[in-house]
Structure 1
Amino acid sequence: MATRALDRVGSEPLWRQLRHELLTRLDAGEFTEQFPGEMALVEEYGVSRHTVRQALRQLRADGVIVAERGRQPRIAPPPEIEQPMGALYSLFASVEAAGLPQHSVVRAFDTRADALVAERLDLEASTPLIYLERLRLAGDEPLALDRVWLPASLAKPLLEADFTHTSLYAELTQRTGIRLDHGREDVHAVIPTAAERTQLHCAHDVAAFSINRLGHAHGTPVEWRHTLVRGDRFALTAEFSAGSGYRFVHPKMT
């Protein structure tokens, strides 16, 4: 088999050319059955194994392929759940919209004090808070670890709710009349701890989104939430144009 041509006299590194070649072939619909291994690419392009590994390393960092030690690379599956950035959303509603069955394992649900969270909610350090901790599952596989705190003075009626299969926001509206109308999220890419990987059933090389949310209703902070979401099942999306910049989609709050 003749080797595929790469530019060996130009300034662009061979590994970068190889990455571009493989992306072009993927876009053209190749590799639907199987992605080529390292040695197959070495022979096909007439390059060193080091060059191939650099190209594959970047494709993995781009989320295009999954490459594990000792196993042949494979095309990364598309995220099962996509969430528009800038939207005040419910994870429950996002999973439902993706057509996946879901339920939650409630790990803790009680009233407690937390000085740091109380400060974030503009409350006194000893203020009682409703605390709800859940392992969120979608399609019978773990999706996220979710922890939320709300002022007990507002959210105490939630203690009567069953959160194994329901939306916190729906219950909050139904039982208290409170509906979040705006908020702020900080999203970071993190490597889960060994304990978190075990709970989320994710591989050692899968990153996660660490999301901190402060939610408001009529100018009053009512929710502090920390969610750890598997990065291989969830994606944040935004639309943009040269004229208007980013355009966010705002789905209905549920």
Structure 2
Amino acid sequence: MTSPTTGSAAKRVDRDSALPLWAQVLADLRRRLTDDEFTDAFPGELALVDEYRVSRHTVREALRRLRAEGLVVAARGRPPRLAGTMEIEQPVGALYSLFASVEAAGLRQRSVVRTLDVRADGVVAVRLGLEESTPLLYLERVRLAGEEPLAVDRVWLPARVAAPLLSADFTHTALYTELSRRCGVSLTKGAEHIRAVVPTPAERTLLGIDDRVAAFAIDRLGEHRGEPVEWRHTLVRGDRFAVTADFTARTGYRLDVAGTLPGPRARLHAAARRETR
């Protein structure tokens, strides 16, 4: 059965016209983009094939032109997205850099550094297995993907390890790159707690979102050769971020169910394992 939307779109393609079908689809998609018809999501290839009743080749040519014009992102193996709304994906169970993930998505990464200093924080120090008065290097940044805010990132590291970072320019460099280069420290292990939260008004302002958009809060405890060296709290826009996981028939799928927040050298979660047999 043909939906009203499908029928309406199909009528906008004139098979008797001298204009190629891909050009007609392209023109209609441009119009619909101008009319903000795709504010929630941009349709995939198969949906467009069904809507316009044309071949997949025709749709792909129209999408190729839209991509060349910078209006949509349509990479191989991934659904088309409006330019500027690409999700940043992070893998579950891997040490990753948000810097690298943003650039891998084809977006320019930079940060607005709000704070870089040395201070004491008793709560964070305990999480790192340190005395409450231990000096900690504190870095707070607003992370941008393209020109839009993506995350508010707050990191604490023992000052005895991370003091050389005080002279680093974090507007366009990764923390882990500088930590390795300046301090000789690389993370070898980590644990995370990811949860959905409602940002405060101040946090919404920093992230450039309204009260309809939730966020992910990510708490990370990073270790170097068995010693906790990083506590990180990152608040990421829920409309720009996705978490991915892989599974196989041999190893199954690992689902980590959130428990209490980690203390020093403590696991961040209780694991529930489902085997595929």
The within-5 A match list for 1:19-38 is 28-29=46-47
* Cα contact 2:86–2:105 (8 A) shared by 1: no
Q: Give the secondary-structure state (helix, strand or coil) at the position aligned to 2:247.
A: strand
Cα distance in structure 2, aligned partners of 1:138 and 1:3: 37
Q: 1:116 aligns with which of 101, 113, 123?
A: 123
Residue 65 of structure 2: aligned partner: none
Q: 1:224 aligns with which of 211, 215, 231?
A: 231
Q: 1:133 is matched by which residue type in structure 2?
A: E
Query: Per-residue CA shift, 1:42-63, capped at 9, x if unaligned?
Result: xxxxxxxxxxxxxxxxxxxxxx
Residue 179 of structure 2: aligned partner: 172
- The count of aligned residue pairs is 187
Residue 160 of structure 2: aligned partner: 153
Residue 64 of structure 1: aligned partner: none
Residue 216 of structure 2: aligned partner: 209
Residue 261 of structure 2: aligned partner: none
Please state if 1:85 is matched with 2:92: yes
Residue 136 of structure 1: aligned partner: 143
Residue 264 of structure 2: aligned partner: none
Q: 2:130 is matched by which residue type in structure 1?
A: L
* Cα contact 1:79–1:235 (8 A) shared by 2: no
Residue 64 of structure 2: aligned partner: none
Q: 2:189 aligns with which of 175, 178, 182?
A: 182
Cα distance in structure 1, aligned partners of 2:151 and 2:2: 47
**Deviation, structure 1 residue 94:** 0.7
Please state if 1:200 is matched with 2:216: no
Normalising by structure 1, report the TM-score: 0.67
Q: 1:170 is matched by which residue type in structure 2?
A: T
- Relative contact order, higher structure (CA 8 A, sep 6+): 1
User: CA, structure 1 residues 3+136, in 2 after alignment: closer, same or farther (shift >3 Å)?
Assistant: closer
* Cα contact 1:206–1:232 (8 A) shared by 2: yes
Q: Give the secondary-structure state (helix, strand or coil) at the position aligned to 2:47.
A: coil
Cα distance in structure 1, aligned partners of 2:50 and 2:198: 29
* Cα contact 1:187–1:209 (8 A) shared by 2: yes
Q: Percent identity?
A: 64
RMSD: 2.7
**Deviation, structure 1 residue 81:** 1.2
Q: 2:169 aligns with which of 159, 162, 170?
A: 162
* Cα contact 1:214–1:223 (8 A) shared by 2: yes
Cα distance in structure 2, aligned partners of 1:157 and 1:176: 7
**Deviation, structure 1 residue 247:** 7.5
Cα distance in structure 2, aligned partners of 1:177 and 1:239: 31
**Deviation, structure 1 residue 80:** 2.4
Residue 240 of structure 2: aligned partner: 233
* Cα contact 2:120–2:133 (8 A) shared by 1: yes
Q: 1:102 aligns with which of 103, 109, 116?
A: 109
Cα distance in structure 2, aligned partners of 1:159 and 1:3: 60
**Deviation, structure 1 residue 198:** 1.2
The within-5 A match list for 1:63-82 is 79-82=86-89
User: CA, structure 1 residues 76+139, in 2 after alignment: closer, same or farther (shift >3 Å)?
Assistant: closer
**Deviation, structure 1 residue 245:** 1.3
**Deviation, structure 1 residue 97:** 1.0
Cα distance in structure 2, aligned partners of 1:80 and 1:26: 15
* Cα contact 1:114–1:125 (8 A) shared by 2: yes
Q: 1:29 is matched by which residue type in structure 2?
A: A
